[in-house]
RNA sequence: GCGCCCGUGGCUCAACUGGAUAGAGUAUCGGACUUCGGAUCCGACGGUUAUAGGUUCGAAUCCUAUCGGGCGCACCA
């Protein structure tokens, strides 16, 4: 809708035009402050320019009024334009909110270490990434969802050690001396039992078999992670294992060439040449590559597949890592501007006002699966998508279990279900409803229709600004308008019954489509 | 100490990325059922946008300083 209006104005003014939604709806559907920016070049007051531009509009198919007010130019869309657009949307559900974008994007997210099930902090990045994925795909982008599995390095050794100790303690009933750092949790007990069945008890006590045990266990943990994600409707296209990358290390090292140097027996990358604070070690004195080395190969591999754009979603505690990875990308001969790193901030959880402190390595973690089971996948996804990903989020699980308007997912679903109920109750059949033209609507209906038709621009805006919370915000607002309209107007038996039902169909379409962008299936009854 | 992010009604968050009178929810108080789902709706209360300067037609948004908070500053991932 907005694109069509903008295209029209671009022809008229011979320049790109910023379109806003006026604060006060009585001003019209759209407005532009273009006169303010023209004021400087034309050396005239914005008011006069706006007046002149507004009065230059003659008859138009899409505008019923164009007015200048205090320097703004306000546009009111014609009923026939809105009606035609609404009818098109209802007849082309899959294209409603799509665009002709077709860039190839590689989106990497979650990428949690395979050392334990996902916790609530991972859930946020997961929901953020998957929502972005769905929005982008709706717009037409060709996006691959990828998970980077860190199945090498110290944390895998620690997994083996932790599993042995856990097994010695809970399966073999031995007295165990716990080290300072180790993983803990129910999943280890289960894995230890499975390990005994598969390998015999010696696997738990023989230190020389720790690596063997760990390599087996990480696959089991990955299965848990995949299950945790599937429970909230998240699925990946590809999994890339860190352990498979190092074969390529020598070749990538050659590409980097002068970008690395040897000092103190170690290999360093000149990342300080590219905005990093200092150079970083990539190969230690004992020849073991650092974590960064894996990431260098991984990103080179990404780029060699020729995507137009690369998006990584990382926990906010990794923000210091961005500069060195971008530096590595440059040294490997690629354009680091194509790599976009988005951060997902901490989550703190309340339950009846009681805060939980979370920490992955310590015992007191909140499992993602516990929360998704407690409040349901839909509520979890809605709340996690509701706030800018780069600011901390705090919420109370009790609120999300409520069945009333304080629970946003309930509120939106209720709006959708209400529409289904009234459609079923009406004596009109679908053909009669669809045949109605949305002309001569009252002001409430016009406002509701317009809001329902905004979905495409919300999808576009939410994706391109990477701010997925705009979508749930919109759905709450559309639902509120629907509830109010429903309260104020009686539908069944109304002389405009067919029009109102068609209007409701458009609202339902936007609610349903919007929810599906969040991995949520709209409810037809509560 | 250095770097990044952030300070908006009691609480949780918006504000179209520089635009019109800073909006929602929640909490508190008050109201609306002879009604298609009251699982809803309406009203009231509540703000010097942390503070002080600056930039311009116009600032919550940009710049500077101060105060306060989070995260990071590994040859861990």
Per-residue pLDDT tens over the stretch A459-489: 998 998 898 999 999 999 999 999 999 999 9
Dump pLDDT digits (tens) for A243-290: 999 999 999 999 999 999 999 999 999 999 888 888 999 999 999 999
Q: Which nucleotides of B are covered by protein (CB under 7 A)?
A: 3-6, 12-17, 19-21, 23-27, 36-42, 57-58, 70-77
Average pLDDT of the residues in A405-433: 91
The CA distance from A45 to A162, in Å, is 73
Query: Nucleotide B32: nearest residue by CA–C1'?
Result: A487
Going edge to edge, which strands form the sheet with A347-351?
A354-355, A347-351, A393-396
- Nucleic strand B within 7 A of Cβ A319: yes
Q: What pLDDT score does A362 carry? A: 38
Percent of chain A with pLDDT over 70: 97
- Nucleic strand B within 7 A of Cβ A428: no
Q: What pLDDT score does A440 carry? A: 87
Q: What pLDDT score does A456 carry? A: 92
Query: Nucleotide B15: nearest residue by CA–C1'?
Result: A23
- What confidence tier does A360 reach under pLDDT thresholds 50, 70, 90? very low
Average pLDDT of the residues in A395-413: 85
Lookup: nucleotide whose C1' is closest to A33 CA:
B19
* pLDDT above 90 (res A506): yes
User: Phi first, then psi: what are they for A419, rounded to 5°?
Assistant: -65, -45
The CA distance from A296 to A302, in Å, is 10
* pLDDT above 90 (res A370): no
Q: Could you name the CATH architecture of A85-100+404-517?
A: Orthogonal Bundle (1.10)
- In chain A, CATH 1.10.730.10 sits at 85-100+404-517
* pLDDT above 60 (res A435): yes
- Nucleic strand B within 7 A of Cβ A240: no
Q: Are A79 and A439 contacting, i.e. CB atoms less than 8 angstroms apart?
A: yes
**Pick from A355, A413, A417, A407: nearest CA to A380:** A407
* pLDDT above 50 (res A172): yes
- In chain A, CATH 3.30.1360.70 sits at 2-77
Average pLDDT of the residues in A178-197: 91
Lookup: nucleotide whose C1' is closest to A28 CA:
B20
Q: What pLDDT score does A227 carry? A: 96
- Nucleic strand B within 7 A of Cβ A402: no
Query: Nucleotide B71: nearest residue by CA–C1'?
Result: A317
ipTM of the complex: 0.91
Give chain A residues 25-54 with Cβ within 7 A of strand B.
27, 31, 33, 36-37, 39-40, 46
Give chain A residues 176-215 with Cβ within 7 A of strand B.
none
3-class secondary-structure state, position A364: coil
Calculate the angstrom distance between C1' of B76 and CA of A481.
51
User: Phi first, then psi: what are they for A442, rounded to 5°?
Assistant: -75, 175
Lookup: nucleotide whose C1' is closest to A268 CA:
B75
Q: Are A311 and A108 contacting, i.e. CB atoms less than 8 angstroms apart?
A: yes
Q: What pLDDT score does A191 carry? A: 95
Dump pLDDT digits (tens) for A14-57: 777 778 887 777 778 888 888 877 776 676 777 888 888 888 77
- Nucleic strand B within 7 A of Cβ A272: no
The CA distance from A160 to A163, in Å, is 5
- Nucleic strand B within 7 A of Cβ A287: no
How crowded is residue A145: how many other Cβ atoms within 10 Å of its Cβ?
A: 21
- Nucleic strand B within 7 A of Cβ A153: yes
The CA distance from A288 to A266, in Å, is 10
- What confidence tier does A359 reach under pLDDT thresholds 50, 70, 90? very low
Q: Could you name the CATH architecture of A2-77?
A: 2-Layer Sandwich (3.30)
Calculate the angstrom distance between C1' of B9 and CA of A403.
27
Calculate the angstrom distance between C1' of B43 and CA of A26.
22
Dump pLDDT digits (tens) for A372-384: 888 899 999 998 8
- Nucleic strand B within 7 A of Cβ A317: yes
């Amino acid at each position: 809708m907005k694109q069509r209006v903008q295209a029209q104005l671009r022809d008229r003014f011979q320049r790109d035009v910023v379109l806003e939604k006026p604060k006060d709806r009585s001003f019209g559907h759209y407005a532009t402050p273009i006169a303010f920016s023209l004021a400087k070049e034309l050396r005239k007051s914005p008011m006069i320019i706006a007046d002149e531009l507004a009065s230059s509009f003659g008859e138009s198919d899409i505008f019923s009024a164009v007015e200048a007010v205090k320097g703004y130019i306000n546009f009111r869309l014609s009923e026939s334009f809105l009606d035609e657009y609404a009818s098109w949307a209802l007849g082309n559900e899959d294209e409603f909110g799509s665009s002709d974008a077709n860039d190839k994007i590689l989106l990497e997210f979650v990428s949690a270490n395979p050392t334990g099930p996902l916790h609530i902090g991972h859930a946020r990045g997961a929901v953020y990434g998957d929502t972005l994925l769905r929005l982008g795909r709706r717009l037409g982008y060709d996006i691959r969802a990828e998970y980077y599995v860190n199945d090498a390095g110290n944390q895998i050794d620690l997994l083996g050690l932790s599993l042995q100790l856990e097994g010695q303690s809970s399966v073999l009933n031995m007295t165990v001396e716990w080290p300072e750092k180790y993983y803990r949790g129910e999943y280890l007990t289960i894995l230890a039992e499975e390990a005994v069945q598969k390998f015999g008890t010696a696997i738990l006590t023989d230190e020389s078999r720790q690596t063997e045990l760990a390599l087996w266990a990480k696959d089991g943990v990955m299965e848990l992670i995949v299950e945790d994600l599937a429970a909230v409707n998240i699925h990946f296209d590809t999994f890339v294992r860190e352990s498979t990358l190092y074969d390529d290390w020598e070749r990538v090292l050659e590409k980097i060439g002068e970008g690395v140097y040897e000092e103190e027996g170690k290999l360093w990358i000149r990342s300080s040449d590219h905005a990093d604070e200092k150079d970083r070690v990539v190969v230690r004195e004992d020849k073991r590559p650092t974590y960064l080395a894996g990431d260098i190969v991984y990103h080179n591999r990404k780029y060699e597949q020729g995507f137009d754009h690369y998006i990584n979603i990382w926990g906010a505690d990794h923000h210091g890592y961005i500069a060195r990875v971008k530096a590595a990308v440059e040294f490997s001969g690629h354009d680091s501007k194509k790599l976009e790193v988005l951060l997902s901030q901490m989550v703190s959880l309340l339950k009846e006002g009681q805060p939980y402190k979370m920490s992955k390595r310590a015992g007191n973690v909140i499992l993602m699966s516990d929360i998704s089971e407690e409040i349901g996948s839909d509520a979890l996804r809605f709340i996690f998508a509701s706030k800018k990903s780069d600011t901390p989020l705090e919420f109370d699980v009790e609120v999300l279990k409520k069945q009333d308007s304080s629970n946003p997912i309930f509120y939106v679903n209720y709006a959708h279900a209400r529409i289904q109920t009234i459609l079923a109750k009406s004596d009109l059949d679908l053909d009669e409803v669809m045949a109605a033209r949305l002309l001569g609507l009252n002001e409430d209906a016009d406002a509701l229709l317009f809001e329902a038709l905004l979905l495409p621009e919300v999808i576009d805006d939410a994706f391109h600004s990477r701010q997925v919370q705009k979508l749930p915000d919109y759905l709450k607002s559309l639902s509120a308008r629907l509830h109010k309209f429903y309260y104020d107007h009686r539908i069944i038996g109304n002389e405009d019954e067919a029009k109102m039902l068609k209007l409701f169909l458009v609202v339902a379409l936007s609610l349903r489509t919007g929810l599906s962008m969040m991995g949520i299936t709209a409810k037809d009854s509560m």
